[in-house]
Amino acid sequence: MQKADLIIIGGGPGGYETAAEAAASGLVVILFEKGHLGGTCLNRGCIPTKCLCAGAEILETIRNSTRFGIKASATASYASAVERAAEVISELRGGIADMLGTVKVINAEARLAEGPRVIADGEEYTAQRIIIATGSCPAPLRGIAPSLYHSSDDFLSLTELPRRITVVGGGVIGLEMASVAAAYGSDVTVLEFCKEILPGMDTDIAKRLRNALGKRGISIVTDARVTGIDADSTVRYTKKDKEFTVESDYVLAAVGRRAVLPDGCADAGIAVNERGFIATDDRFRTSANGVYAIGDVNGKCMLAHAASAQGRCVLGKTVNLDVVPSVVFTIPECAFVKRAIDCETRTIKLPYASNGKALASGQDGLLKLECEAESGILTSCSVLGPHAADLVAEAALAISRKLTARELCESIHAHPTLSELLQTAASALCR
């Protein structure tokens, strides 16, 4: 039996970043990955999607250049965009391999066993701590044969986009892919079961994003329950007890994700909750002594950066897990960060049109900033518009450090920049 200080199953962001940090501190680390390093995020999620989003944004910029006195046109090759994404993925994989340094990486599927132990390719391994970081995969459409629709993994393998695409699910994944497809010329319809897209995000931002996507030609139907998909890709759904159909050439199901559980969880005594994710406490300990679960597989916060943060927590690092920003890379971009509170708040809404840099650049959007009514401590920030993720990053730092609106507005922001939106909003909250 081979021994180590730490064993990690899964080479996604949570797995490889935790492995690298643990090895840098002097621990003997073994990392198991049955596929490519980088996990879903690098190979079938965040990175390829963002590569395609970047191309889509350039196309939209060219199409809207006439207001700057520029007459331009562009011929887009989706196949070339996909090829570029593959090149970026390959380069980043190499970077991950370099980052892992002294970590022993084993390219094999690992099975958990009582002990706790890990078995792979007939060899047994053990460690004081084992971290499960096996991630998630696309969830299926309930009651509909998988042969009638495609997953986000399937969509990212396309080199040519269908003319008509129906996206079932108006969450982050569905909207990002709808935004890309529309930019490259597909007719896109999004069907969302809830009353608004992006359930869980600020409703003002979600509504404005829906309207903005509609202006780009994306048809979005909310409160829509999909009841069936025909062999010719016609989607049937109901809305307010009335039946409708959408004719399409390709149906993309983006209705969430489910945990990828390593084999042997039951043998190792690892409990799974009613949602199918590994049950953990607030320190990510499972029901098996010495075994932890981080990232999508525990279902607590299904974001790549959350997985990495949870890994640092397992290693004993101080991490504020109460404030986790999220971003949707649609056109326009939107982002959100919030600290859970139970008190009265005050909110300010600030349009991009109030900002000199935004006006000069022809950028439209909205920023919302919230603070506790009595103390003025910042609690949340939502942004729709260019560089939303960058604006929310500063807000996330302020919120995690529990700064007040007055403390934020006292900080000097460069002029003219979009960051002044935060300063202006904080100043307004102080009045």
Question: So which residues are the catalytic ones?
Answer: 415
Total residue count of the chain as it appears in this document: 431
Cβ neighbors of 264 (< 8 A, separation 6 or more) are: 111, 112, 113, 119
Name the DSSP letter for residue 330: S
CB of 133 closer than 8 Å to CB of 7: no
CB of 95 closer than 8 Å to CB of 256: no
Cα–Cα distance for residue pair 159/162, rounded to 1 Å:
10
With H, G, I as helix, E, B as strand and everything else as coil, classify residue 328: strand
Name the DSSP letter for residue 297: G
Encoded tokens for 427 = 């100043």
Cα–Cα distance for residue pair 311/16, rounded to 1 Å:
9
CB of 333 closer than 8 Å to CB of 392: no
Cα–Cα distance for residue pair 99/21, rounded to 1 Å:
9
- DSSP-assigned states of every residue in 53-71: HHHHHHHHHHHTGGGGT--
CB of 167 closer than 8 Å to CB of 224: no
Cα–Cα distance for residue pair 262/30, rounded to 1 Å:
16
Handedness of CA 383, 389, 392, 396 (dihedral sign): positive
Strands 123-132 and 225-229, bridge-based pairing: unpaired
Q: Which residue has the tokens 């809830």?
A: 194
408: alpha, beta or left? (left if phi > 0; alpha if psi -120 to 50): alpha
What's at 81, amino acid-wise? A
Cα–Cα distance for residue pair 80/188, rounded to 1 Å:
21
Closest CA to 179 of 149, 212, 207, 208: 212
Name the percent of the chain in helix, strand, coil, to the closest 5.
Answer: 35, 25, 40
Cβ neighbors of 412 (< 8 A, separation 6 or more) are: none
